[in-house]
Amino acid sequence: MAEFKLPRHSRIEKGREIDAADKGAKRKKKFSIYRWDPDTADNPRMDTYEIDLDKCGPMVLDALIYIKNEIDSTVTFRRSCREGICGSCAMNIDGTNTLACTKPIEDVKKTQVRITPLPHMNVVKDLVPDQNHLIAQYNSIEPWLKTDSPAPTRERLQSAEDADHLNGEDGHGPAGCILCFCCSTSCPSYWWNSDRFMGPATLMQAYRWISDTRDEATGERLDQLEDPFRLYRCHTIMNCTNTCPKGLNPAKSIGEIKKLMVTRK
């Protein structure tokens, strides 16, 4: 039987185990964190830190900040708002892409919390993925209001009903996307075709502008997506909707674009 090995830097090794909890701590939890430093020739590894949960806040991000501040300052990750608004702390926690700042530690019932970067992306360092390609795709849809009519003296008004279509009556409309890219990096179609397929996050943002009644470039925007790969590589696997930490439905937005493609012909 033939045996195959992954490339060297694709093999994750067992790392250090650090017990930083007091002996008398009543609430202990282990956090297994992906570590990789591009400045060394070492393979990626999983370092495990055991901490006292009474010394940090209730969210996974609180534990990461505690580990970085009090135990190991070399642990690297992105974070900003800590309120599920900026999308900076998106990572894979316990096998699911989500935001560390809104993921309660108590939701992970296992003895340890496994934390890795968003999957199928190049890693800058530790939990920080390289988002340059994702951002370039997002920029390619020209995510701003495009009009030919003369600009009004004040803002371009929109009815409450039209605004509800963008925002969603429950706040779960396409305008609620925070570009954390949890959806795109959970999509197998994007894993296989990320060079040409736009991915759920970018396509939902495209629909946000296509469906904006103030925008006057709908035909142009649809023309840009009329491609066997850019739009139609979506096979409605639904990973994107299942993993969205904001409760949005990228698959529905993609379906609406497809319907518009058909009805305009």
How do residues 1-34 score in pLDDT, each as one tens digit? 777 777 777 788 999 999 999 988 999 999 999 9
Note the maximum CA span of the chain: 74
pLDDT band at residue 265 under the 50/70/90 scheme: low
What does the alpha-carbon distance between residue 168 and residue 130 come to, in Å, rounded to a whole number?
31
Answer yes or no: are the C-beta atoms of 77 and 90 closer than 8 Å.
Answer: no
Answer yes or no: are the C-beta atoms of 95 and 186 closer than 8 Å.
Answer: no
Condensed to tens digits (0 to 9), the pLDDT of residues 134-150 reads 999 999 999 999 999 99
What is the model's pLDDT at position 170?
79
| Total H helices, total E strands in the chain | 8, 8
| Helix or strand run (H / E) with residue 33 | strand 28-35
Q: Which domains does the chain have, with CATH numbers?
A: 9-129 (3.10.20.30), 132-143+160-263 (1.10.1060.10)
Residue 132: how many other CB atoms lie within 10 Å: 11
- Torsion angle, alpha carbons of 116, 121, 125, 131, to 10: -120
What token pair was written down for 247? 């409760």
Residue 50: how many other CB atoms lie within 10 Å: 17
Please state the pTM of the whole predicted model.
0.93
| Helix or strand run (H / E) with residue 140 | helix 132-140
Condensed to tens digits (0 to 9), the pLDDT of residues 184-237 reads 999 999 999 999 999 999 999 999 999 999 999 999 999 999 999 999 999 999
